[in-house]
Amino acid sequence: MSAVEALPEGAYEVHALGADLGYVVEPRAYLALAAMLRGSGFEMCIDLCGVDYLEHPGRETPAEIRATRFEVVVNLLSLSRRERARIRVQAGDETPMVDSLFSLYPGVEGFEREVFDLFGIQFENHPELTRILMPEEWEGHPLRKDYGLGRVPVQFKETAPQ
């Protein structure tokens, strides 16, 4: 799958190390690249996570892609070919959003809900994008680097001397 000319417009191969492939993609090409990889034998999505690069991007992106604060990282596996592929999609800055991979990989439903809950990244066309770890009334997204270091006050029972 290292044929760069076969990639959708807006997707760039950033490395091919052994059997591992790596791609950086703009949001508009994210679903097309994932569908292409699915069709070429990457039948399993083994991980999907969010990243917040608040002040220090610290990552390489092709010059054609503007690096944004939030990124979604997807790891795909081809059991038949013994290969892995990683997709990094730029999700945006103020209102991060990317397409959902649910139509291609139904197993990402929980992964995407977790990233939404903890980072606030929206997944368009997700079947039920609701909080999965935090209570519904919770304000904010705890894994964002600008999230306050608040504490939950400890409740002690009053004890009277006996």
Q: Residue 31 is part of a domain; what is its CATH number?
A: 3.30.460.80
Residue 61 is assigned to a structural domain of this protein: yes
pLDDT of residue 150: 65
Domains contained in the chain, number: 1
CB atoms under 10 Å from CB of 137, counted, come to 6
pLDDT of residue 67: 83
Domain that holds residue 79: 4-124
Residue 162 is assigned to a structural domain of this protein: no
Residue 133 is assigned to a structural domain of this protein: no
What pLDDT digit, counting tens, does each position of 99-151 carry? 999 999 999 999 999 999 999 999 999 999 999 999 888 888 989 888 877 66
Residue 34 is assigned to a structural domain of this protein: yes
pLDDT of residue 2: 47
Residue 93 is assigned to a structural domain of this protein: yes
Residue 101 is assigned to a structural domain of this protein: yes
For the chain, give percent helix, strand, coil, nearest 5.
20, 30, 50
Residue 59 is assigned to a structural domain of this protein: yes
Query: Do the beta carbons of residue 98 and residue 35 sit within 8 Å?
Result: no
Torsion of CA 123, 98, 121, 47, to 10 degrees: 80
Reported pTM = 0.84
pLDDT bin (cut points 50, 70, 90) of residue 46 is very high
pLDDT bin (cut points 50, 70, 90) of residue 6 is confident
Q: What is the DSSP letter of 32?
A: H
Query: Do the beta carbons of residue 64 and residue 12 sit within 8 Å?
Result: yes
Residue 145 is assigned to a structural domain of this protein: no
The CA angle 108-112-115, to the nearest 5 degrees, is 140
Residue 27 has pLDDT above 60, yes or no: yes
Euclidean distance between CA atoms 111 and 84, whole angstroms: 18
